[in-house]
Amino acid sequence: MLLLLENTHGDRVDPAPAERVGALNARLTHHGAWDVLNAAFYAVPDLALVSSFGAESVVLLHLAAMVRRDVPVIFIDTEMLFAETLVYQQEVAERLRLTNVRIIRADDLDAGDADGTLHTRDTDACCALRKTAPLQRALASHGGWITGRKRYQSGRRATLAFFELEGATGRIKVNPLARWSPDDVAEYMTENRLPRHPLVAAGYPSIGCAPCTSPVAAGEDPRAGRWRDQDKDECGIHFVDGKMIRTGATI
């Protein structure tokens, strides 16, 4: 069942993706993550969830599992992740009884980064090779994807909407937790007794690949440990053709 709109003649029509995104954002302006997820599964065809199984990922995975346990969950193994992340991924998938986890990897590392040192020379190229390209291939058969992005995570995300349209791909991106605060995340994890990523207790509030993630000191921005001392705060999976994906609509 897809979101349908009425044209000027009163006929029920399937809207174009841009219209669907606008209608969903308008309809769900005052709703929460649960309603956004439920609406997304009905309104967006072939929806997948993309998860890093990082510090806060278990919240979105738990919510999605309660709505649709067989949602395709795409996990990108960059082959540079912390061992703790790989173990945590298996633990969370089993705990939440996720039945459709898909682990994807780059298929051209020998040509692009044979010695595994690309990240020391060009972090953007490394992210593109190990994360962005494999994800785009994995998403090719999906009409949209669910992310765990939140407005508080960085300045780029300050006006994040529940639904966005990727203009270059035509896919709809769903951000059910866009308005959640750090306290909301912590409270949800505690109330639902969700397992925490073991590196959080070691000072890693945001977790990516091991070579490009460092502990964060008290008082620092939670994402300060990602690509420290570089002018970079996104890995690139939320970009298409080098540009941040925006819809122009904010809620």
| 224 located within any domain | no
Within 8 A by CB and 6+ apart from 99, the residues are 69, 70
User: pLDDT tens digits, residue range 216-239?
Assistant: 998 888 888 888 877 655 554 444
User: pLDDT tens digits, residue range 90-131?
Assistant: 999 999 999 999 999 999 899 999 999 999 999 999 999 999
**Cβ proximity of 240 and 168 under 8 Å:** yes
| 213 located within any domain | no
H or E element: which one contains 48? strand 47-50
- Domain enclosing residue 77, as ranges: 5-197+232-244
| 222 located within any domain | no
User: pLDDT tens digits, residue range 24-59?
Assistant: 999 999 999 999 999 999 999 899 999 999 999 999
User: pLDDT tens digits, residue range 171-200?
Assistant: 999 999 999 999 999 999 999 999 999 999
Calculate the average pLDDT of the chain: 85
126 is an active site residue: no
Which of 127, 209, 212, 235 is catalytic? The answer is 235
Of 159 and 36, which is predicted with more confidence? 36
| 205 located within any domain | no
Number of domains in the chain: 1
| 203 located within any domain | no
- Residue-level pLDDT at 18: 86
Pairing mode of beta strands 73-76, 101-104: parallel
- Residue-level pLDDT at 224: 86
Task: Read off the pTM.
Answer: 0.83
**Cβ proximity of 183 and 84 under 8 Å:** no
Cβ atoms within 10 Å, residue 176: 30
**What's the pLDDT band for 248 if we cut at 50, 70, 90?**
very low
Between the alpha carbon of residue 243 and those of residues 10, 41, 93, 125, 211, the distances in Å are 38, 27, 32, 15, 25
Pairing mode of beta strands 144-146, 47-50: parallel
**Cβ proximity of 163 and 25 under 8 Å:** yes
CATH for 98: 3.40.50.620
The CA distance from 107 to 33, in Å, is 35
- Residue-level pLDDT at 78: 97
- Residue-level pLDDT at 170: 87
| 168 located within any domain | yes
**Cβ proximity of 238 and 147 under 8 Å:** yes
**What's the pLDDT band for 153 if we cut at 50, 70, 90?**
low
| 220 located within any domain | no
| 249 located within any domain | no
Q: Among residues 251, 90, 240, which one has the least CA distance to residue 170?
A: 240
Residue 15 has pLDDT above 70, yes or no: no
